[in-house]
Chain A
Amino acid sequence: MADVAIGIEGATKRFGSVTAVDRVNLEIEQGEFFALLGPSGSGKTTLLRIIAGLEVPDEGRVLINGEDVTHLPPYARRVGMVFQDFLLFPHKTVGENITFPLKMQGENKAHQAERLDWIIKLLRIDGLEKRYPSQLSGGQQQRVALARGLISRPVLLLLDEPLANLDRELRKEMEIEVRRYQIELGIPFVYVTHNQEEALTMSDRVAVMREGQFDQIAPKLDIYTKPATPFVASFVGHSNRIDARIGSIGGGLARIDWNGLPLIVPCPADAGDGDNILYFVKCEHIQIQPDGSSAAGSNDNQLAGTLRDVIFKGQTADYIVVLENETEITVSDASGVPQVKAGDRVILSWPAEAGNCFSAQRD
């Protein structure tokens, strides 16, 4: 690819006996919003710090715009970075914080003022230049941190959980704004987060990371609808996990037996009769109806159960249903249609093609 902005080749980083990043390969394109998604301790922040030059990999190479920067110190990389705790310089005013990268590059005052003017208008923080970071709200501090990361027109921007410390409303607003800045500036953003919603809202592509390696790198829709591994399936979105054994296979579908309940699911390519499988079906793909309703008729899988609890979440509600085999399934519904209450008999149904099925790893 001619348009590769960041190339990582076989990067490995160990801390003592822990391998934080394990032989990772990655290519991020120009103008791409790329999310590194993973639970804490998965190595995503270490990988980001390797790109920034704050960590030197034990093995492997890092390329920025085709140039090998593996052993280049951070101050020579022209990379912008936004940190989780904002990390503004407390002894400098907002204006001084934002123009810091320009000052380090030896830009003259007039040019600094001109750039400052541009960035505070873009991020809508004009009027705060003379204040100190401790006089700002969390959201304002986050914008100042973003402005500092962007003012010198870096070749790429690294973001390390930048919204984790903001309250929910503000986070939603900032997710959209950060995406807007990325499109406006046209440089690649690499965004580290453990929050799948953030990753899915903002990014073009997502890499799901676990134990120092990638489980899957794919466009965000594929990450959500076609998870490559059971880990991705359970980590992204809200799914019900079903451990079962294949009865018979036919037409790309498999009949499985789940603790005595029959289901039809997509058959994993490498599975045969009698194999154990892991099946994930997203909570929102399951329909719930009162017992005796006929609407479920067209779906392949139909299970009867008793509604144990309804958790109202605003836009959606979660229904927790106990099935006849004593297991629980969670259903998300946004329609508000199911007129059921705890203790009612209900019918759950979903099409056979819904959900993702994997061969269980053989011992």
Chain B
Amino acid sequence: MSARNRFSNFLYRPGARFALLAVPGVLFVVLFLLIPIIAILVFSFWRTESYELHADWNINNYAEVLGDGSYMVFLLRSFWTALIVSVVCLVYSWPVAYFIAKLGGKYRLLLIIALAAPFFTGIILRLAALQAIMGPLGLINMLMMDLGMAPIQLIMYTKFATGIGLFYLYAPFMVVAIYLSLLNFDFRLLAVAKVNGAKPWRAFLEITWPLNWAGTAIGFVLVFIPCLASSVTPHFLGGANGALFGLVLGEQFAETGTWAKGSAMGVILFLASFIVILIMWRTVNLRRSGFTGAGM
């Protein structure tokens, strides 16, 4: 029997093809998700001294992060920032996505690509562009001075600037998530609701919103989680009083060299994100979402 025959025989064995197809996905998850998480988890119970990790097990890192009020301030600030930005993104994204899905017609794809255009460049460049607009000598202030008004001092290097930056970076995710959900939404159901006595706003609340809540929740998580962990945006735009948890976390690795404490912060951030996803998941009732692929 030739090698080729043996290989094709192997392919026809039950489970063999399944195993082959599963390998890339499993490798990806193990290499890039499981191993780093386990590493971070292990490091968080170790000790750093003079920029080196020592494997003597302790819970001092957690005691320090959870006991020191300033870390909790950063975490709470990150939480509120993420929540406000996500809600603003949601309110902004619904009409945009609805417009594109319902009235975009043959320009739908073009409009979505235009929306995603900023993704064609890196995050630093985009934040620098925001600085050029909102900075002390940026576009807004130059325009105001040209018009004879006093320049605004307040925008740049504030928590508000961080919020604008995060909104700018992540709103497209929300729009795309809601848009994809609306693509699968049967708009004829709205006509049915109206014939059956529903005013337009009532039809939206009764039909459109619940049937697109799963997509909206995914968009919410896609915005909330990176905002909760954001470090680059507050670094560029947040100023001295705008530090967020993610930024301080990054400093543990880059500047102070306290890897073990950074790892503990990472675990806390991971758990916080996980809780948020869990809460959002609880709001999605697959039956009530109109999703028919649940096998129930």
* Residues of chain A at the chain B interface (Cβ within 8 Å): 52-54, 73-75, 77-81, 83, 85, 87, 89-91, 100-101, 104-105, 132, 134, 148, 152
Contact = CB atoms under 8 A, between A and B. Distances in A.
Q: Which 7 A-B pairs have the closest CB atoms?
A: A104-B197, A90-B290, A91-B290, A101-B196, A74-B194, A81-B195, A74-B195
Interface string B167-206: 0000000000000000000101101111111110010001
Given A54-B191, A104-B202, A87 B186 contact: yes
Contacts of A91: 210-211, 287-290
Contacts of A79: 195
29 contacts: A52-B195, A53-B195, A74-B191, A74-B195, A75-B195, A75-B196, A75-B197, A78-B197, A80-B196, A81-B195, A83-B192, A87-B186, A87-B189, A87-B192, A90-B290, A90-B292, A91-B210, A91-B287, A91-B290, A100-B193, A100-B196, A100-B197, A100-B206, A101-B197, A104-B193, A104-B197, A105-B197, A134-B292, A152-B197
Contacts of B198: 75, 100, 104
Contacts of B290: 89-91
Most buried by A among B197, B206, B207, B210: B197
A4 B196 CA distance: 23
Nearest to B285: A91
Interface in B116-133: none
Contacts of A73: 194, 199
Contacts of B191: 54, 74
Contacts of A85: 188
A77 B289 CA distance: 29
B194 to A, nearest CB: 4
B194 A132 contact: no
Contacts, number: 65
Contacts of A78: 197
Query: Which of B195, B211, B290: most chain A Cβ within 10 A?
Result: B195
B287 A132 contact: yes
Nearest to B287: A132
Contacts of A53: 194-195
A85 B192 CA distance: 11
Contacts of B195: 52-54, 74-75, 77, 79-81
A104 B192 contact: no
B199 A75 contact: yes
B87 to A, nearest CB: 23
Q: Is the interface of A mostly helix, strand, loop or mixed?
A: loop
Contacts of B206: 89, 100
Contacts of A104: 193, 196-198, 202
Contacts of A134: 292
A52 B194 CA distance: 10
Contacts of B188: 83, 85, 87
A161 to B, nearest CB: 14
Contacts of A74: 191, 194-195
Contacts of A52: 195
A81 B196 CA distance: 8
B218 to A, nearest CB: 17
Contacts of B186: 87
Interface in B210-242: 210-211
Given A75-B195, A87-B192, A89-B189, 10 more contacts: A53-B195, A73-B199, A75-B197, A78-B197, A79-B195, A83-B192, A89-B192, A101-B196, A104-B198, A152-B197
Contacts of A90: 211, 290, 292
A358 B127 CA distance: 79
Contacts of B211: 90-91
B207 A89 contact: yes
Contacts of B189: 87, 89
Nearest to B210: A91
A268 to B, nearest CB: 44
Interface string B254-296: 0000000000000000000000000000000001111010000
A89 B194 CA distance: 13
Contacts of A54: 191, 194-195
Contacts of A89: 189, 192-193, 206-207, 290
Nearest to B290: A90
Contacts of A75: 194-199
Nearest to B289: A91
Nearest to B196: A101
A330 to B, nearest CB: 40
A301 B206 CA distance: 65
Contacts of A148: 196
Contacts of B289: 91
Contacts of B192: 81, 83, 87, 89
A53 B189 CA distance: 15
A134 B292 CA distance: 7
Contacts of A152: 196-197
B288 to A, nearest CB: 5
Contacts of A105: 197
A77 B210 CA distance: 26
B249 to A, nearest CB: 40
A132 B291 CA distance: 11
A362 to B, nearest CB: 45
A89 to B, nearest CB: 6
Contacts of B199: 73, 75
Contacts of A87: 186, 188-189, 192
Contacts of B210: 91
Question: Which one of B188, B193, B196, B206 has the highest number of Cβ atoms from chain A below 10 Å of its Cβ?
Answer: B196
A90 B186 CA distance: 10
Contacts of B194: 53-54, 73-75
Nearest to B202: A104
Nearest to B197: A104
A359 B91 CA distance: 66
